[in-house]
Structure formats: C-alpha cells, structure tokens
Amino acid sequence: MLPDLDTLNTRLRDGATSRAQIIGQAAARAATPAAEAVFLHSTFEAAAQVARAADAASRAGKALHPLAGLPVSVKDLYDVAGETTRAASLVRKDAAPAAADATVVARLRAAGAALVGRTNMTEFAFSGVGINPHYGTPVNPASADGVARIPGGSSSGAAVSVALGLAVAALGSDTGGSIRIPAALCGITGFKPTTRRVPLTGAFPLSYTLDTACAMARTVSDCIAVDSVIADSAVIPRVTNPAATRLAIPRQVLLDDLDPTVARAVDRALGRLSAAGVQIEHVDLPELGELAGLNAQGGFSSAEAYAIHRHVLAARRDLYDPRVASRIDRGANISAADYIDLGRARLDWIARMEARLARFDAVVCPTVPMVAPEIAPLRTDDAQFFRVNALLLRNTSAFNFLDGCSVSMPCHAPDELPVGLMLSHGPMRDADLLGTALALEGIVQPSQRDD
C-alpha cells in the first residue's frame, strides 16, 4: 500500500521520490500475480506522461493539487473518452467507445490525477461479493494465510488497486455498500457521500435512486481530497473534540451475527473510543427492523435495474452472470404502484430516522459482520453466495436507504484479517460526519498512517 497523500507529497517536496517513480513502481506491482484481474484495461504509460508533466510543473514552482501526477484508478462503470465502458459485462464488450469522460473522471483529470486504468468489478455493480465470472476475481491482498479471499464488491478491483499500492485512490460507486464493503474487507478507507452531492453523468446506472459516485483511499483525509475534486461542492469538515463526540450504537440488526474477529476488533475500537472520552450510547432504532420488509420485493435496485436491462436481458441473457440476471429479474414483479409506495415509505422512514439520530454525531457499527470469506465455495454454491451477499450488504445498505453519508475505517490489529468500523449519518451531514471521522480515525486504529 502506498503512503497517504500528505506523506507522499512531503516526500515529493523533499525530493525523496518523484511522481514518475511512483507510477513506475505501481506499474511494476500491477504486473505481478497478486494484481491479476484487478484491471480490465491499464493505462500506466499515459499515466507516466501525466506524472512527468506534474514533476516538471512542480520543479517550475507551480502549485499542484495533492493528487496531481499520482496514480488513481477508475471503476469500469465510468466513461473514459475513447474507451468502452463495459461495466465488467460481456453484454457491453462491443459497446461504442465513450465520446467524453464522465463528469467525475473529467474532474480528476483537471486536478492532474494520473489515471492508471479501469478496474474490475461485479457485473453491473450488482453484488457485494466481488466475484466476476467473465473477467476473473481480484484476490483480496489480505489473503496472507494462503487462502484466496473475496475482495468485496462491487468495487472489487478498485479496493485491491489501493490495497496493493497500484493507486493512491480509486474511483468507485456505492449503491448498497459497494465502496465501504470492499474497503472494509481489504483494510482501507471508503467514504460514501450523500448521493446528490456528486454527479453521475457518464456512469452506467444500477439504481437511479441509490447510485453514488465516490472513492476509497488510504485514510479519511485522502478520501476527503478526492471528494473535494469530484463533488459539486467541497465540504469543510468540522473536526470535533473526541470528548464532545456522541455516537449511537443501534440495538437492532447491525450487531447481529458478527464473526468473532469482527466482534473482537469492533469491541476493541469502541473501548479505545470510550477511553478517549467519546460518549457511546446504545439506542433503539426500530426502523432498522423495517428494512427487510420494505425491500422484500427487491427494492429500488431490482426495480430500476430491470427497467435498464429488460430489453437486452430478453435478447442476450446468456451473456449475463446468472446471479446478476436473477437479481435483475426480481424487478419484473414490482408494479408501478409498489414502486411509488416504496418511495413514499422511504421518505417517512428517513424522517423518523433523522429524528432519532439528531442528537448524535454518528451511528457506529461494523461495516460488515464478517471478515472476507474464501472465494472458492462462493463460486459454486448459489445458496452460500446469496447468504454471504445479503450479510455483506446488510449494514451498509441501511444508510443508502437513509440517503445518508458513511465512512468505513480499518479497526483491525496487524495480525487479524481486515475489519471496518463504520460511522454514518443522515443526508447532507457530510461535513459533520467527516469531521467526526477525522477526529476518531487515529483512535480507532493508531497505526493507520504507518507505512
């Protein structure tokens, strides 16, 4: 993993390295077996040109953005001018190249980021597991025990690109947890902003209601640096005093069925926070128990994905991942009346949740209730795959339904598989939430900034 942006830019100013060297080292790592299936298409040569230009500009005394000349990966969901946006599906393999960059990609270019390639993902972003039967599955870099583990999804290659040091940040998306799940399982940080803050123009859609353009990186401050580039307006985090911070732990749903490693890491993190003076209160959030019923028919994602795919699915079903197709199929049985009812019910649900959370700085819970499971059984066992997928999405998707913002931060010990601790709040609370995350990050995992 590369150091955080502050450390990298300090080394660049001191002459200890150059942007061109960083790109070259990332390209070399991308050619190793550990990086297999991370990229669907890499562009390290073009990135090196950008890096050399940034190095020259820096030597000339020009002020540069912290991302300038540094490697950033792009999920295969976003248009890049002249490239085909496949969304990691065979269905779109022969689609016309994009005429222009997606808005968020254009903004990264304008900041000087060196785009190193298109990362692999779950087909059409419709799973939290990260397995892709068409283009392979990136192996979680935390698989140090010799067991190939899932990276999480849908932004699978994005997370692995950061965790392996192929990129300082990865542009991904989050509809039900697709940034935070792989960030948690791969031991990095992911930030899901309020959906409306970041434009989706030029992104292949899964759910018009829930899709969020966002990124993962090494630290909270690095995620903020990317958000400040891609969002319509930058937020100014209001960093809080830990002793004045109030966190809510829900009694319902989000702490159920925790893997022992997750329970241990989260308990340890909460203990550190409490010792630092953070006020942690167990609260009733009965609304969380309503989510399964509200989304029993498949929710917004299935309904909207069916609207997007129904004609192509009817003509070219054999080219789809059968598991993705089955989830899209659920949308066929959602009537217009059901869809409207769900939208109205969501507004009522959000209002009740916001009222309960008003006195807290964030909700705190595990990002996902398990550590990364093995890939092999999930490739062949549909029942196990869908059980794991539902568990991976359970905690994160609650805050997509809330239209909220959410940060996953690593909280595991060096000898443990990665575990994420998630801080979340309601819509347009991004500045407050990021301030809280900045204040608590070093307490949750004191070694996070170490190389």
Mean pLDDT, consecutive 10-residue segments, the chain of 451 residues?
Answer: 96 98 98 98 98 98 98 98 98 97 98 98 98 98 88 98 98 98 98 98 98 98 98 91 96 98 98 98 98 98 98 98 98 98 98 98 98 97 98 98 98 96 98 98 75 42
Q: Which of 18, 178, 302, 408 is catalytic?
A: 178
The predicted pLDDT at position 450 comes to 40
Q: Two tokens at 227?
A: 């958000």
Nearest to 246 by CA among 411, 428, 423: 423
Q: Is 63 exposed, middle or buried (0-12, 13-18, 19+ CB in 10 A)?
A: exposed
State the amino acid at position 418 in one-letter form: P
Helix (H) or strand (E) run with residue 410 in it: strand 405-410
Predicted pLDDT at 352: 98
DSSP letter at 420?
Answer: E
Could you tell me which residues are beta bridge partners of residue 415? none
CB-count exposure of residue 437 (10 Å: 0-12, 13-18, 19+): buried
What is the rounded radius of gyration, in angstroms, for the C-alpha atoms of the chain?
A: 21
Tokens of 232: 């319509």
Q: Give the pLDDT confidence score for residue 177 in this predicted structure.
A: 98
Per annotation, catalytic residue among 42, 58, 75, 161:
75
SS3 label, residue 264: helix
Q: Which three-class secondary structure state does DSSP give residue 227?
A: helix
Give yes or no: 326 in active site: no
SS3 call for 9: helix
Decide if 178 contacts 155 (C-beta within 8 A): yes
397 is catalytic: no
CB atoms within 10 A of CB 262: 26
List the catalytic residue out of 58, 89, 154, 221. Answer: 154
Element (H, E) at 327: helix 322-329
pTM, entire model: 0.97
Q: Nearest Cα to 119, choosing from 164, 158, 167, 154?
A: 158
Cα–Cα nearest to 269, from 71, 423, 126: 423
| Confidence (pLDDT) at 145 | 74
Q: What region does 301 belong to: left with phi over 0, alpha with psi -120 to 50, or beta?
A: alpha
Angle between helices 5-14 and 220-230 (to 10 degrees): 90
Task: Check residue 146 and give its pLDDT.
Answer: 82
154 assigned to active site: yes
**Domain 5-295+323-444: assigned CATH number:** 3.90.1300.10
